[in-house]
Amino acid sequence: MTDARLTAWVHGHVQGVGFRWWTRSQALELGLVGSATNHADGRVLGVAEGARDRLEQLLSRLRGRSTPGTVTVVVESWDPPRGGLSGFVER
């Protein structure tokens, strides 16, 4: 399976509810590397690299009903992997 990089801007009530920790746990379970970062405007930015099918699973989970808080929309973009990532961190 081809590797890729997923960038996902998550909108909604996703700060102060454990969303970054949850995203990290989902990504690690799927064998992905990257980060989840809070932004001042209330969004969370998720960046992950790994197998495209695993990234698609993560994206599906981000849009699912079992996330902490309330996700209203996820805006994603896809790129070739850049590398240089290790583990999955919360920022």
Catalytic machinery residues: 20, 38
Q: For residue 83, how many other CB atoms are within 10 A of its CB?
A: 10
Question: Distance of CA 82 to CAs 37, 68, 89, Å?
Answer: 18, 29, 17
Residue 44, φ and ψ in degrees, nearest 5: -115, 130
Q: Residues in the chain, how many?
A: 91
Cβ 69 vs Cβ 13: under 8 Å: yes
